[in-house]
Chains A and B, each alone.
Chain A
């Protein structure tokens, strides 16, 4: 089981570049794809899901180019797009039955799997209600269920936790970790904590380019000894933000606790902190920005 992305670029009509010379090879595990808005994550997801085609390069699934032989991949693909709709007059069971038929799942087994998925995603109680009356989070769970219908070998989920409440979000992260053991899962998000919980590998995209790909530990190592906490009065906060890369602020009784990333301590009173993946991600992006400015 291997997904090879070779020098893939995508240029939209009007010359807008969505993705630029992107290469990556993936095996079983969860790849967290992170990057700021407009970085090209959804473009890459759509190319991998065979919804659109790259303008250059190729994507190879188990030896077959997915642009030439998309059905090889489609039969084992689960895809949750960032924005998707549902048929409002169908209920969850009917909607999943329709997609199961489309994916070629056999009747009784499909029905049993649908029941299992509905139970797993806490939708059993509402599965007979028309989807038109579902909340955003419930629709998102139906979307997750459809992506898992055919027990996919490649699962692509684009911003999957959008609209989920905290409990469901935690549950979904756990589910992704569980699924990642025996298949390739690509999780695209700009919520770093989602990646932190589930990803075995991380890829950072910025302006359509891959700027970092590695295991989370390596990303963290790069920022080790560079994360500090500085307690400053409120009126100094703007000045600190101008001077340092700030990854978080908390207001307390003794002032604002600023979490910042810097090569050296910006002040003798700062305290060293253990880095998080979010710190490491911001640091990596800032390095990239500095390189671009140079």
Chain B
């Protein structure tokens, strides 16, 4: 490769990063995101008496002893803990935040212009990877800044050791972000991972990475935790010390201080972290192999396009030459609003485009719900039945933005009284239809409280979808939030997130009443959001 060729490629990457960053940072949402990141940064370094600690918690491994060690807030401790939490917690929303870099070029038509330039696929995907990494890096940088500020605000140790504070962000958080950014690009180049399925799949990839910390340690936990444990054992040799990670409650526990001087960055440890950056680069390059370079012929054929193919090319369609009828002879337009007609139209819009096997699986789940024992129907079949339509719900409230029909729809009369309730009811109809197997089973078993919880779930899910859709303008937000809530709540049994009454013992605690109240709040928020959209 000539020097000129290298310079051209580097210039391409630089401009791709610049353009992408400028496009993103000039949005109000970026400012909002930074403010939220700053706020989270303050929560991750709580006051001593806050009742919780964030990060690694060395404690007595015996379950009957409530004693733990709190790291003294010096640069090393704060930097390492915030960086670790950023690595774990930012990697999930961060993916959804950057997983639209290629989609935007596709949607805006810029992709077609880029495709006519000498820009190669690897340069494009690497450029997109680096621009996404730069965006995530900005957030990591904001957290690093807030860590420094929090050290000074908490004021336990006023001496700032910049290397101890910043090296964890550089060597722990950034390699994780590199992988997340690369996966986002990779997912966008695979047609079946590009949409909602990819959003759901990534959640499980993230969960798997978290659970597989010991063999693979993507998040850098093993770079810090053993050294913290070692320091704790040296300081308190009489205690059998164990450590846990996360945001842990410490109310009522006895506490001692641990002065920790930071991670010793040995060469193998640094190499281990840098290997993730190399892996990320590999993923971005692999994405180049799969990238269609905006060639419509390489895109999968959607049902709509299949039909067009079957019936001949759509170009030039229409009966040219036929004598048109004059406007005056058109039948009169009789205005007589029927809510149920709009509801049916919204329902058709919701499920149109779903393949036949989607309906087959939904029907299978419905029948299984009726025929299973009531406990199985509620705890196993219902969560599955109410995960299956996630992509129907996630389109609620965003369809007008996604397909560019906003100006037409929003100029219709009485939208808040007509279209919004119709769209919501269509979503409720989807939850009622897909979950009706379990409902029938609950009726047969005379479990009325369970049925009530089910009914609240049927109202709550579309309300959440509609609200998040209207306010975020994209499907990803609901898909990520709902998948996480579904996995943690109904599937893994966290009582507070059992919004569908899947955990049988909870139906008597009255949790569903809280969700009913939340549903009302969500609907009010959806109406407010739509009202803002209508007002332009």
Contacts and interface: CB of A to CB of B under 8 A. Distances in A.
Main secondary structure of the interface of B (DSSP, over half): loop
Given A101-B342, A101-B345, A125-B317, A85 B311 contact: no
A71 interface: yes
B323 to A, nearest CB: 10
A167 B315 CA distance: 15
A198 B220 CA distance: 69
A53 interface: yes
Interface of B: 302-305, 307-309, 311, 314-320, 322, 324-338, 341-342, 344-346, 348-349, 352-353, 399, 403-415, 418-419, 535-536
Contact of A49 (B303, B337, B411): B411
Interface string A40-75: 000000100111110000000000000000110011
A52 B330 contact: no
B307 A133 contact: yes
Contacts of A77: 411
Contacts of B322: 122
A129 to B, nearest CB: 6
A99 B470 CA distance: 19
A125 B345 CA distance: 23
A171 B330 CA distance: 16
Contacts of B536: 46, 51-53
Given A151-B330, A179-B327, A104 B407 contact: no
Given A51-B411, A125-B317, A107 B341 contact: yes
Contact of A119 (B305, B324, B409): B324
Nearest to A167: B320
B330 A102 contact: no
Nearest to B410: A51
B413 A109 contact: no
Interface residues of A, number: 67
26 contacts: A51-B410, A81-B407, A84-B407, A85-B403, A85-B405, A87-B349, A88-B302, A98-B345, A98-B349, A102-B412, A104-B336, A105-B335, A107-B341, A110-B333, A112-B331, A117-B330, A120-B325, A120-B330, A121-B324, A124-B319, A126-B317, A132-B304, A134-B314, A135-B315, A167-B320, A175-B327
Given A83-B404, A117-B330, A50 B411 contact: yes
Given A133-B304, A133-B305, A146-B408, A138 B318 contact: yes
Contacts of A133: 304-305, 307-309, 314
Contact of A122 (B320, B404, B405): B320
B332 A113 contact: yes
Contacts of A75: 335, 413
A90 interface: yes
B407 to A, nearest CB: 4
A86 B407 CA distance: 11
A110 to B, nearest CB: 8
Nearest to A147: B408
Contacts of A119: 324-325
B303 A141 contact: no
B333 A113 contact: yes
Nearest to B402: A85
A52 B162 CA distance: 50
B338 A107 contact: yes
Given A126-B318, A129-B307, A129-B317, A94 B333 contact: no
